[in-house]
Amino acid sequence: MEPNEQPDTAFAPHASSAPVTTASAATAAAAAAAPRPYILPVDEEEDRRLDAQHDLLRDALGSDFACPLGWADAAPPRNVLDVGCGTGRWMRRAAERFPTADIVGLDLRPPTPREALPPEIARRCLFAFADLLAPLPLRDARFDYVHQRFLFAAVPAARWPGLLGELARVTRPGGWIELVEGGIAAPAPGETAPAPCVTALSAWTERLCLRRGIDLALPARLPGLLARDPRVRVAAACAIPIPLGAAFGGGGLGARAAENWLSARHHLRGAVLRAGLADADEYDAALAAAPAELAAVRCVWRIYVCYGQRRGDA
């Protein structure tokens, strides 16, 4: 890495040259200050929720990784990219899972790990400033594994084809692209009891997103969008319903999912009120009543997982 490419980050740079060119501090500051479509706040409380969400998804999906990397005789990845790395939690898990891999994270701000990284992990984790709505500051075909998670509330619908094209561009032939995105919480299929407060909170979130060009129904269509790129062969796609609350029985996972989902609604309160989509009294009343609904009515939060392989001849 050239001296002028040194990133300003809590994560240590690669010991060897990195397949990334980072933005200057001035460029990164300007990108971070520009108006963004992302609907959630960027603060310590939200960082804690994101970390809890990461652990929740790992337990719900059974793993931090969906792609068939390192399985049986499949070669483990050497260069891994996390697009929209947030707090850096997935980067750390990837570095632990793939001990010979270098991990690069892209976002508008450095990761905020809650504990110090062990030196053997930190030296393989690199952060670079990047505006994910612009061409990625990465060279072509450099990554064996490109991971993107939960950008459904940050990327306008019109920008998804361009972003997916960038993911394909930076993936090497034979490498993998993995997408994990969320959907809208709603009563489970077949549930006859109403959940008016949960429905209202979901509707306010959806309307807030639509004002910013974000379509919360789009994650269900990601396999088709990814398959439009002739460079990519979609290998698998599925929707996984995560129970919200204790109405399904079993407690644990459902209770954690409900707590995280409700925490996000608390964090969205200011944006919803500023947009004039609800007044404070009705929003607060819905928030107060939603936990009881989630304990009595079977509601689910769907997670969409899709992964594909970069074709060797494209």
Report which DSSP code applies to 256. Answer: H
Choose the weakest-confidence range: 25-29, 33-37, 248-252: 25-29
pLDDT at 195: 94
pLDDT at 113: 81
pLDDT at 118 over 80: yes
Choose the weakest-confidence range: 36-40, 217-221, 256-260: 36-40
Name which residue leads in pLDDT, 108 or 21.
108
pLDDT at 26: 52
pLDDT digits 0-9 by tens, 135-174: 999 999 999 999 999 999 999 999 999 999 999 999 999 9
Report which DSSP code applies to 138. Answer: B
pLDDT at 39 over 50: yes
- CA–CA separation, 143 and 87 (whole Å): 21
Choose the weakest-confidence range: 6-15, 37-46, 94-103, 199-208: 6-15
CATH superfamily for domain 3-184+215-241+302-310: Vaccinia Virus protein VP39 (3.40.50.150)
Q: Which residues is 239 bridged to in the sheet?
A: 304
Name which residue leads in pLDDT, 234 or 116.
234
Mean pLDDT across the chain? 87
pLDDT at 70: 63
User: Could you tell me the end-to-end alpha-carbon distance of the chain, in angstroms, rounded to an integer?
Assistant: 29
Decide: 300 and 244 in contact? Cβ < 8 Å.
yes
- CA–CA separation, 209 and 277 (whole Å): 11
pLDDT digits 0-9 by tens, 251-281: 689 999 999 999 999 999 999 999 999 999 9
pLDDT at 312: 87
Average pLDDT of the residues in 66-80? 81
Q: How confident is the model at residue 10 (pLDDT cuts 50, 70, 90)?
A: very low
Q: Kind and range of the H or E element at 204?
A: helix 196-211
- CA–CA separation, 49 and 150 (whole Å): 13
